Structure 1
Amino acid sequence: MTLLPRNVLGTARARKGARRHLFGVAIFGLLTSSSTALAAAESYDCLIEPMQTVELGMPASGLIDKVMVKRGDRIARNQVLASLDSHAEQAATDLAHYKSQLAGPAQLAQSKIEFSQRKFGRRRDMADEKLMSRQDSDDAEAELKQAQAELVEAKENREVARLEYVQQSSQLSLRTIRSPFDGVVVDQMMWAGEIFEPGATRHAVLKLAQLDPLRVRVVMPMRAFGEPVNGMSATVTPEILSSKAYTAKITSVDRIIDAASGTFVVFMDLPNPKLDIPSGVKCKAALNK
């Protein structure tokens, strides 16, 4: 048996230890790469969209009088955005309102009732004492009933006038465009001075978009079906703001898988109170399990 010098033996052991260290580093690198690949596999392609986009017009036709907003303006719910010329409709509404406030006919009928009551009371007493014929008493009673009917008629006419005012006000409101939600003006298709006609080629005056919250459309592979559920949160990273991540919440999961692509769609709500997140951009979404 040949004995190696002590320095040679130490060198061999050092080389063996170095090989073990390099092997460990390689294994660790493979595990890290696998974990990174797995994390990347859990990110899905998505698209950030407006919650809803609508084109607004009016059910009535006429000359556009005013358009109070322009493209890019922020708008609030129920804000007046545009209106048609409504001078005739406004006059009819004012007339109906005036008629609904008339109190003269009812006061006149009430005065007749009071007079007829006194007249009937006197003639009835005189008829009971045989100082007047019963016919005169009956005539006074008929006048009283007629005055009471006139009061009922006056009240009914006032109610009819009130309902006509409500109808005219409704017709007038149909000539005004109001915003159905908080959002922004995406486009303006018609301007003041143009004739608006429902059902024409240009059937809308303004196009609006609701941007708070945003809707995130996530396309997921068939193998991930069952993982996303309503109420689950997810991390969304927009394509143009890759350094920022936002939290969205799942609101809807498709129950039908597209056979051609082998995918299904998940919808999420993404809060955007400051409107600093743009819509219409691609993104990446990762479920927070």
Structure 2
Amino acid sequence: MAPAWSNTTVASYDCLIEPAQTVELGTPVSGLLEHVTVKRGDKITRNEVLANLESHVEQTAAELAHYKSQLNGPTELAQSKIEFSQRKFERRHDLAQAQLMAKQDSDDAESELQQAQAELTEAKENREVARLDYLHEMSQLNLRTIRSPFDGVVVDQMMWPGEIVEPGATKHAVLKIAQLNPLRVRVVMPLRAFGDVHVGTGASVASEIEPNTPYSAKVTSVDRIVDAASGTFVVFMDLPNPKLDLPAGVKCKAALRN
């Protein structure tokens, strides 16, 4: 985390350091919660598996669909039929052209060749259907695994192994996680400062737990609506926190750079 600028700054404003986002994680399907691999306070990374539902049936279905999608027998059988029918048709066609065989025998051989070609097409189509079925089963299986959508920390655990997860129920979230890099700084500013701050403006932020250690932040959003009752508006800043050494949920002071 970089230190704040040392050049002259303007007035200091009260602010609050918040997580960039806080998310409650659950699943879109019902099932028995089998494993939770993290606990409150753990650091997590994007796409890390955090929990999963019992999925033996879905796993078996996916393995069966994968096996069917890899079957080569029907395609190879149809291909061999085509090769045999092709040779048979060519021989009979030549004999029929030389008037040594009835034209009907040549037509029958041609029909067998066309049927073999149709069987090969059907075998390829069935294999493609099996491949798509495997992708569908894997998608269903993946719905039973909870992964982290970003780097962050576990804020709370609401369900435990052995409980039933039911989407739409009052208790449906398994874990609550927060993104702490970057942090979001909420600054409440008076009406007189409206127009003086813009997106991209730099600032120096010092938290109440480290008042003598300022950090660099940058304005990312400025409210376009002023609260009439208090005569204030809100400005949001991004505060880099790569080592996660600065906690969220603490008060701070923010001073805009000239």
Under a length normalisation based on structure 2, what TM-score does the superposition of the two structures give?
A: 0.96
- Distance in 2 (CA, whole Å) between partners of 1:41 and 1:156 is 70
> 2:89 — aligned with what?
120
Match of 1:225 among 164, 169, 194: 194
SS at match of 1:42: strand
Residues 259, 134 of structure 1: alpha-carbon distance in 2 compared, 3 angstrom cutoff: same
Number of aligned positions between the proteins: 251
Match of 1:76 among 15, 33, 45: 45
> 1:276 — aligned with what?
245
> 2:226 — aligned with what?
257
Percent identity, aligned pairs only, is 73
1:285 positional shift: 0.5
1:41 positional shift: 7.6
Greater shift, 275-284 or 177-186, is seen at 275-284
Q: 1:139 aligned to 2:111? A: no
Higher relative contact order, chain-length normalized (CA < 8 Å, sep 6+): 2
- Per-residue CA deviations over 1:125-165 (Å, capped at 9, x if unaligned) read 11111111111100000000000010011000000000000
Q: 1:176 aligned to 2:145? A: yes
Residue correspondence of structure 1 range 32-51 to structure 2 within 5 A: 42-51=11-20
> 1:159 — aligned with what?
128
Gaps of 5+ in 2: 1-7
Gaps of 5+ in 1: 1-38
SS at match of 2:16: strand
Match of 1:60 among 29, 36, 59: 29
SS at match of 1:53: strand
- Distance in 2 (CA, whole Å) between partners of 1:228 and 1:145 is 76
The AA in structure 2 aligned to 1:42 is A
Structure ID, larger Rg: 1
Under a length normalisation based on structure 1, what TM-score does the superposition of the two structures give?
A: 0.85
Q: Name the one with the larger helix percent.
A: 1
1:40 positional shift: 9.9
> 2:3 — aligned with what?
none
- Distance in 2 (CA, whole Å) between partners of 1:168 and 1:261 is 55
Stretches of 4+ aligned residues off by more than 3 angstroms = none
> 2:66 — aligned with what?
97
SS at match of 2:29: coil
Q: Name the one with the larger strand percent.
A: 2
When the two chains are superposed, the root-mean-square deviation of aligned CA atoms in Å is 1.1
